[in-house]
């Protein structure tokens, strides 16, 4: 077959056209075809249970994985805290301290991993500290492996709701992490600008990119204000975007996003390093397109979405399991999701031709239209005070609510077809749904209490005292947080110290 020919050209555009790897990178950040990093999002129950799932996925060919954290961990709440009751280990793995990370990563060689990703947003600085401490205990330099920390706390105020501190304080902590990583472990990704959750909350493709880049500007502005060169930070960043089943508009969205980012970094921030101008994309199949009705249809949806991402030239991909609309994926469903990526990557030949839709009348027009609408919305946000003002005023929340309502109305009216839901409904046999061991919560709470009884409490107290001094003095929290984590302070203890100084987020009337 022709696509298997090693002499096959990777681009068919005329010499005068933009080519992959050329500014403004509409057609991709690399001139050479590459298979994306294949990662699967997993995590549930205890660290030991999740470790077993991760090791099986690595054996199946995963080259990086995403750690799903339970809600208490995402909020910096310890598993034995009364506020955690009923949520420990439910939507992800419970992580309370370095002791849990040691179990989670047991038998997994850090230096062989291309990426370890996580949902840590409000606790991005803590996640960085956990893996820095783990690496030091193993005698591995943290820069010898890949770490991918979402750390995009601003979108939590817009889309997910796991924010802990007020927006300004949250931005400060996120940038403490970004600054530390850029200077100490430049192989790591300290920020994944997350449009995924914005899209999952009902946004349009334009809003997904424009809101994401508005947040990115807030992070970059704070880094620059601190004296960090944009070319020291921007090359370490990723963006995290959704893939839906709207094939051509989604391909155009990724192309337009790369173009907008390149121009923004070059023209607004004066970035000189081409890597700063190159938008690296982690694409994640949209959970919102999965249905509990006729869930086997989800395999088709995710296959289409994976193909879209391959056509768009992404750097990292996750494919959702077909049973995720029902709960945590079963092991077989998670493996099938990985196999979907592998079939698309190794059997379709799509990786042999870069940006194959270039020159398509439809895709080029969609790309231009999306670029224009993204710039227009971004400029409007900036003129009205930027991302922080849009969060504090409730503008982002209102815009997403309106977009989600329009989408819901389109589905309910049948204007937007969802097979098996509003068109071609049918009864199906119930699926086996993954269930969490009911004893997990009590066991994890006991584990935290046991840790507090056996650790060096004096070392914990000293580290937390230093943290309190540093946050009050407006110094970076990273050194003291790393010290506290190494002493086996819990996430909840660190967050409590910070909350005493920074306060807690309270929604305004606009929310």
- Grouping H, G, I as helix, E, B as strand and the rest as coil, residue 319 is coil
Distance CA 258, CA 280 (A): 8
pLDDT for residue 225: 96
Spans of the chain, pLDDT less than 50:
1-4, 6
Return the DSSP state at 162.
Answer: -
Q: Please classify residue 510 by burial: count the beta carbons closer than 10 Å to its beta carbon, then call 0-12 exposed, 13-18 middle and 19+ buried.
A: exposed
Distance separating alpha carbons of residues 189 and 208, to the nearest angstrom = 21
Q: How many residues does the chain have?
A: 511
Q: Is residue 223 part of a domain?
A: yes
Note the pLDDT tens digit of each residue in 82-106.
Answer: 999 999 988 889 999 999 999 999 9
* Geometric angle at alpha carbon 145, from 119 and 455, rounded to 5°: 70
Nearest of 278, 287, 344 to residue 320 by alpha carbon: 287
d(CA 487, CA 506): 31
Nearest partner of 188 among 147, 150, 230, 228, judged by Cα: 147
Is 61 contained in some domain? yes
> Which residue, among 43, 81, 47, has the nearest Cα to 491 in the 3D structure?
81
**Is 435 among the domain residues?**
no
- Whose structure tokens read 């110290």? 497
pLDDT for res 3? 43
Whether 418 is in a domain gets the answer no
Angle ∠(44,50,52) on CA atoms, nearest 5: 145
Contact between residue 187 and residue 143 where contact means Cβ atoms under 8 Å apart = yes
Q: What angle do CA 179, 184, 186 make, to 5 degrees?
A: 85
In a domain, 66, yes or no: yes
Closest CA to 298 of 117, 431, 201: 431
Burial of 389 (0-12, 13-18, 19+ CB in 10 A): middle
Pick from 43, 47, 45: nearest CA to 451: 47
Ranges of beta strands (E only) in 153-217 are: 192-194
Residue 368 domain-assigned? Answer: yes
Residue 399: what pLDDT?
95
DSSP summary character for residue 85: T
- The tokens of 167 are what? 């927006």
Domain count, the chain: 1
Residue 104, pLDDT score: 92
Full domain range(s) for residue 296: 27-413
> What tokens does 409 get?
């109305």
Please tell me whether residue 444 adopts helix, strand or coil conformation.
helix
With contact defined as beta carbons under 8 Å apart, do 65 and 346 qualify?
no
The reply to whether 448 falls in a domain is: no
CATH number at residue 82: 3.20.20.240
Helices assigned H by DSSP within 34-166: 47-59, 71-74, 98-104, 124-138, 154-155
Tokens of 345: 């990557």
Residue 22 lies in a domain: no
Helix axes 478-486, 457-472, angle to 10 degrees: 170
Pairing of strands 281-285, 316-318: parallel
CA distance linking residue 238 with residue 149, whole number of Å: 10
């Amino acid at each position: 077959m022709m696509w298997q020919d090693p002499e096959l050209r990777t681009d068919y555009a005329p010499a005068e056209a933009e080519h992959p790897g050329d500014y403004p990178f509409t057609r991709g950040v690399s001139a050479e075809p590459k298979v994306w990093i294949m990662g699967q999002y997993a995590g549930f129950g205890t660290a030991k249970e999740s470790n077993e799932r991760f090791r099986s996925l690595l054996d199946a060919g995963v080259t990086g994985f995403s750690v799903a954290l339970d809600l208490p961990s995402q909020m910096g709440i310890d598993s034995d805290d009364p506020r955690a009751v009923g949520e420990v280990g439910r939507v992800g793995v419970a992580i309370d301290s370095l002791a849990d990370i040691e179990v989670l990563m047991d038998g997994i060689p850090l230096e062989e991993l291309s990426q370890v990703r996580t949902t840590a947003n409000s606790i991005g600085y803590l996640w960085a500290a956990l893996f820095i401490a783990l690496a030091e205990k193993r005698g591995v330099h943290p820069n010898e492996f890949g770490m991918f920390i979402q750390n995009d706390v601003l979108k939590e105020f817009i889309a997910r709701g796991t924010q802990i501190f007020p927006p300004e304080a949250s931005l400060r902590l996120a940038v403490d992490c970004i600054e530390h990583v850029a200077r100490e472990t430049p192989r790591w990704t300290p920020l994944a600008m997350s449009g995924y959750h914005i899209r999952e909350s009902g946004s349009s493709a334009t809003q997904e990119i424009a809101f994401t880049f508005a947040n990115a500007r807030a992070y970059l502005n704070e880094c620059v204000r601190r004296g960090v060169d944009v070319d020291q930070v921007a090359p370490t960043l990723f963006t995290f975007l959704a893939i839906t089943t709207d094939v051509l508009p989604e391909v155009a969205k990724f192309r337009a996003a790369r173009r907008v980012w390149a121009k923004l970094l070059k023209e607004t921030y004066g970035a000189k390093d081409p890597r700063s101008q190159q938008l690296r994309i982690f694409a994640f199949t949209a959970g919102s397109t999965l249905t509990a009705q006729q869930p086997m249809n989800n395999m088709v949806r995710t296959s289409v979405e994976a193909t879209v991402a391959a056509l768009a030239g992404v750097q990292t991909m996750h494919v959702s399991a077909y049973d995720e609309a029902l709960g945590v994926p079963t092991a077989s469903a998670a493996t099938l999701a990985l196999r979907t990526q592998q079939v698309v990557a190794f059997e379709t030949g799509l990786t042999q031709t870069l940006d194959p839709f270039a020159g398509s009348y439809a895709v080029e027009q969609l790309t231009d239209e999306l670029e224009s609408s993204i710039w227009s919305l971004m400029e409007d946000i900036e003129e009205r005070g930027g991302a922080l003002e849009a969060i504090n005023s409730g503008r982002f929340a209102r815009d997403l609510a309106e977009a989600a309502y329009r989408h819901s109305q389109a589905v309910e009216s049948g204007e937007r077809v969802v097979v098996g839901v509003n068109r071609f409904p049918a009864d199906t046999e119930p699926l086996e749904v993954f269930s969490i061991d009911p004893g997990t919560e009590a066991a994890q709470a006991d584990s935290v209490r046991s840790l507090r009884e056996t650790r060096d409490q004096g070392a914990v107290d000293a580290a937390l005292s230093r943290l309190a001094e540093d946050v009050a003095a407006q110094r970076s929290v990273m050194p003291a947080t790393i010290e506290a984590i190494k002493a086996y302070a819990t996430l909840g203890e660190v967050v409590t110290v910070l909350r005493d100084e920074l306060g807690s987020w309270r929604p305004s009337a606009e929310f």
